[in-house]
Amino acid sequence: MDNKKQISLNRAKELHNEIADYLEFKAQYISDVSEKRDLISLKHKTELLEYFGGTESDWNDYHWQLKNRISSVSTLTKFMKLSDSQIKMFDDVSKKYRWAVTPYYLSLMDYSDMNYPMNLLGLPTKLELNDEGELDPMAEEYTNPAPCVTRRYPNRLIINVTSSCAAFCRHCQRRRRIGECDRVESEERINEAIKYVEENIEIRDVLITGGDPLMLPDELLESIIKKIRAIQHVEIIRIGTRVPATMPQRITDNLTNMLKKYHPLFINIQFDHPGELTKEAVEACEKLANAGIPLGNQMVLLNGINNDKYIVQLLNEGLLKARVKPYYIFHPKQVQGTKHFEVKVSEGLRIMEYLRGRTSGLAIPQYICNAPEGLGKIPLLPNYIIENDDEHFRLRTWEGKEVEIIY
């Protein structure tokens, strides 16, 4: 064997060893968690259909999922055995913060472990009664020059069309807007927001969000999109939604056939844990992708959910297989009632540094911290520049090796 071949083989072995621990984790996760989860979820689904008197066809109908959302502890106890103190906790939190999950999302949970990631994402805990943080950490109330509008940047803005979601995530940055019932903004207020876009010709990018805009009926959602698309200076329209993770049944043929009429249209979704990437969720993403809609994922870094380098890698590689580009990892905002989800920036940076070189570039999102008072997104990156001047750069590679580049 010639020397070059031996060097190549030695290097290949080094590279394999770099991800050997992850490969072992992935195999164990698929065997011990993913496959087991599928069986448990199927059992839960059968129990939920029996309790609500539903059929397989009902389960696949998002109207049925919404009609039967679980939002009271009395209903939850039909499926989960809760102690008296846990029941009291649900009652106490419910007085302050609304909660609800679809039967579909409840089927993904562990009925005996309230610290299971999907439980923590969808069900309240007593830790939400901690009042540290702010209800409006992004100062959205001070960046709304027109009804329903949030504007933080020169050429793009947000239109919030509803406070409703399929499930109310426990880390939600807009929990102050949830209220006691689902609410859609009035036609008058939405039209005022669209008029503001029309009158400000620098706005080229409009994000429709909420709540979750895919909670709107197709006809109402189309009327909003159609009016925005008619504005000549608006180049792209985006939709922010979590329903592919919490109620994938919402992604119907009627919806995708409507959306694809208004390209260029992008959808940002939110999967926070690989346990949310079920067969139904992947099919929902593929349906959107087949309609020509580029998909980007906006994961929130959350303590006890995904602040683990292997979990993030597994999620992001799974997203790519579902044709979703990992777009952002958001550092958690200091929202009142979410203190228990907070992580240190150093944790996020370590995850980002781990990902580089150990997975494809497509699976590496931007790590983002939102500046307080609505001052916008700040990208956070590990430091790969050791020293530099006008002509020389001393850099650190993903493996920690130092190199010098001369320009």
SS (H, E, C) 132-197: CCECCCCCHHHCCCCCCEECCCCCEEEEECECCCCCCCCCCCCHHHCCCCCCECCHHHHHHHHHHH
Report the SS3 class of residue 334: coil
- Asked whether the beta carbons of 156 and 207 are under 8 A apart, the reply is yes
Decide: pTM greater than 0.85: yes
The one-letter amino acid at 378: I
Angle at 250 between CA 244 and CA 254, to 5 degrees: 125
pLDDT score of 176: 67
Q: Any idea what DSSP says for residue 335? A: B
Q: What phi, psi does 38 have (nearest 5°)? A: -60, -40
Residue from 120, 171, 194 nearest 332 by CA: 171
Q: In a 10 Å sphere around its CB, with 0-12 CB exposed, 13-18 middle and 19+ buried, how is residue 241 labelled?
A: buried
Supply 254's token pair: 């009627």
DSSP bridge pairs for 326: 297
Q: Which residues contact 223 (CB under 8 A, 6 or more apart)?
A: none
Instruction: Please give the pLDDT value at position 177.
Output: 67
Tens-level pLDDT at each residue, the chain (407 residues): 788 999 999 999 999 999 999 999 999 998 877 788 888 999 999 999 999 999 999 999 999 999 999 999 999 999 999 999 999 999 999 998 989 999 999 999 999 999 999 999 999 999 999 988 887 777 677 788 999 999 999 999 999 999 999 999 989 877 766 655 688 999 999 999 999 999 999 999 999 999 999 999 999 999 999 999 999 999 999 999 999 999 999 999 999 999 999 999 999 999 999 999 999 999 999 999 999 999 999 999 999 999 999 999 999 999 999 999 999 999 998 888 999 999 999 999 999 999 999 999 999 999 999 888 778 899 999 999 898 887 788 999 999 999 988 87
Tell me if 284 sits within 8 A of 256, measured CB to CB: no
Query: Which tokens sit at 229?
Result: 């698309």
Name the nearest CA neighbour of 76 among 55, 107, 41, 118.
Answer: 107
Phi, psi of 259 (to 5 degrees): -60, -40
- For residue 179, the model assigns a pLDDT of 58
β-strands 205-209, 156-160: how paired?
parallel
Q: Of the candidates 253, 275, 321, 298, which has an alpha carbon nearest to the alpha carbon of residue 109?
A: 275
Q: What gap in Å lies between CA 185 and CA 176, rounded to an integer?
A: 15
Cross-strand pairs, 384 = none
pLDDT (0 to 100) of residue 133 = 82
pLDDT at residue 36, as a whole number: 83
